[in-house]
Amino acid sequence: MPPKKQTNALAQRKSEQMKQQQKQKTRRVIWFSTVGVLLALCIIVLLIPTKPKAEAFEYAGLPVLGDPNAPIKIVEFGDYKCPACSIFNELVKPQIQSDYVDQGKAAFYFMNYPFLGPDSDTAALAAQAVYHQSNEAFWAYFDALYTNQGNENEQWATVDYLVELAQKENIGIDYDLLRKDIEEKTYQNEVDEHRNKANQLRVQGTPTIFINGKQYNGNFGDYTEIKKAIENELKGE
């Protein structure tokens, strides 16, 4: 090959090589840019706060305080032997009732999570028996159980005690039927269903509340925090 043609061929090959190198460099830049964008998007997604999953409850089968059609539904899991539940019932629940339940903004429900002792179950059976006679009587009995709560380390919630408490508070039910339902464990299936639901939701203790199906994980003794959580639900946040 003549020198001139050889020179032209070499120059052409070099030009082609440079073009290929430039294409490879461009591909690498595009690849790294794409990966960078995807990583950035992943980080942004991870940083965006996600709303907690709303759990489903069979509200119609639960004791309810307030209007069942209220926009906010609050479910408490409790044990009648739990001292913290008694404190919550004495100091926090009345404020929820005054600010939201009585105003038609919220309905308050209760589910049993008996775990402190065998008589936790007995108290739950008694409360469920009262509920099936009268929803209104249930809440009077509910308050009476916590107000007259015994030592959590003693088995105080006996059948006799539970029936006598209902009579003493004059809650207006059939007391013989109450005794029969407790002794025969008429509503054991319901108590077990409540407990199973608590276990399914990984409830760690009592009291635990859910606001429109979303577990509240703040301080149960701080009504300000609970009120904020309720207000956020009212705003749809």
pLDDT digits (tens, 9 = 90+) for 165-185: 999 999 999 999 999 999 999
pTM beyond 0.75: the answer is yes
Show Cβ contacts of residue 214 under 8 Å, excluding neighbours closer than 6 positions. Answer: 51, 52, 53, 54, 55, 233
pLDDT digits (tens, 9 = 90+) for 186-236: 999 999 999 999 999 999 999 999 999 999 999 999 999 999 999 999 998
Q: 237: burial class by Cβ within 10 Å (0-12, 13-18, 19+)?
A: exposed
Which of 180, 176, 182, 186 is closest to 145 using CA atoms? 182
- From the options 3.40.50.620, 3.40.605.10, 3.10.310.10, 3.40.30.10, give the CATH code of 59-234: 3.40.30.10
